[in-house]
A and B are shown apart, each in its own frame.
Chain A
């Protein structure tokens, strides 16, 4: 697998890039960490985000971006190792502990993270938050799931539509 250029050969100071959140806060971060985002990786490989320029992220606010970068910085060394085949059990356990604590957060932050991880295409983070939300809705009734995720209660029209849909679906398999 081709490793991003920023992942090796950086014996001296690591290359830094600047990311700009939707509320205009600038974050300076190692290119290797930001490259965990598939969306950013190409721009960074093309030399973007350095110097006075920054990469604007109009869909991610500063609170969410700071959280996203916390994840990226922690996971960047393992990712640069190509999924860390040489990682020790201790390293892996440490990452797992970090992950567990990382998603132990307020629901609103969690939902912003889902969208940010998705927009930035950070596979590990997408998977981590998706798993957390799946755990939260596991075992709940449809109405409880709606409330957990902050969906409004269904309108009578929506309820009727759902029933009709169920009917259609049920028939389709008879």
Chain B
């Protein structure tokens, strides 16, 4: 019944936030449902899921460069306009791309739709590897990196937020690990960013509220490279891995005993998805588009997008060497932050009681 109710509430119009508030006062179970972050994330995705337009692929051809590979039939961009030399794509989120500009020894946050560019300096904290995440609606970038502390012979992994308004980095949060951060795009789920560690064997969680770091071990069942972090259909942290002839989907859930663990949600036979393939020896999950829950997979015959919900498969790129790509979804409107509106309304209602 709850699921059926969720389907109804999901369809309340986002341009009238009062609808959600009134609905939350109908009964306790509706209130619980409407204040569930997983539901609200689903709601935002339902009403504002920008389509996947393509992905940024890093290459080396005399110099580092990236190319935009369109996946939508009607791409709003002229492809060459998005290509860039002496720069690599770090990741994209909500219509903005984060690019590493080697000549500048820094990054830029770039909105290909408006052409806006904001420079971001390279992290000041020591790093051997680093990666970064661009957040929607936040004028800043979260950096995460690893370095070897020679003196103590240990690997330190850290995260720090850069705010362009103040031009300052936050005091880094650190954690001692025996592995390095991967230069793959992060995943945003709830109030945390998740980065890949140690070829995907472990996951680094950066809590955006508490600015703290912790580590989650990935299910240890896949050959290298291991699975990649994704968000599951209900917005939780998830993981996709390929083993033998199947793709496995996991989500990180709190059990009845209050302890979190991995739950295997789905096993998809790759043969069924990609019947044109004869040999099942070279599959790599190379990217994940958060807003459309789409996996990008490289195979011997090209790159495919797989929409996790519908199982819809499409060939979008030629065969080649891919490590990690940055899927790009367009950003139509700034929209309203439903969660925020909802909280504000609820606080107002609370004040009126």
A residues in contact (CB < 8 Å) with B: 1-2, 114-115, 118, 126-127, 130-131, 133-135, 137-142, 145-146, 151, 154, 158, 161-163, 165-167, 169-170, 173-174
Contacts and interface: CB of A to CB of B under 8 A. Distances in A.
A130 B4 contact: yes
B31 A169 contact: yes
Interface in B65-104: none
30 contacts: A2-B273, A114-B4, A118-B4, A130-B4, A130-B10, A130-B11, A133-B8, A134-B11, A134-B12, A134-B13, A138-B16, A138-B19, A142-B25, A146-B26, A151-B27, A154-B27, A162-B25, A162-B28, A162-B31, A163-B353, A165-B28, A165-B32, A166-B349, A166-B350, A166-B353, A167-B353, A169-B35, A169-B350, A170-B350, A173-B346
- Taking chain A's interface residues, is the majority helix, strand, or loop, or is none over half, making it mixed? helix
Interface residues of B, number: 34
Given A118-B4, A167-B350, A169-B346, A2 B27 contact: no
A1 B310 contact: yes
Contacts of A146: 26-27
A142 B22 CA distance: 5
Nearest to A173: B343
B250 to A, nearest CB: 21
B264 interface: no
Interface of B: 1, 3-4, 7-13, 16, 19, 22-23, 25-28, 31-32, 35, 272-273, 275, 310-313, 343, 346-347, 349-350, 353
Nearest to B342: A173
Contacts of A174: 347
Contacts of B16: 138-139
Contacts of A162: 25, 27-28, 31
Contact of A166 (B4, B19, B346): B346
A142 B347 CA distance: 17
B276 to A, nearest CB: 12
Contacts of A163: 353
A170 B313 CA distance: 44
A89 B226 CA distance: 45
B264 to A, nearest CB: 19
A118 B19 contact: no
Contacts of B32: 165
B12 A138 contact: yes
B28 A158 contact: yes
A161 B23 contact: no
B53 to A, nearest CB: 19
A131 B174 CA distance: 47
B22 A170 contact: no
Nearest to A126: B7
Name, among A133, A141, A146, A161, the residue most crowded by chain B CB atoms within 10 Å (CB to CB): A133
Name, among B12, B25, B275, the residue most crowded by chain A CB atoms within 10 Å (CB to CB): B25
A139 B353 contact: no
B31 A140 contact: no
Contact of B31 (A134, A145, A165, A173): A165
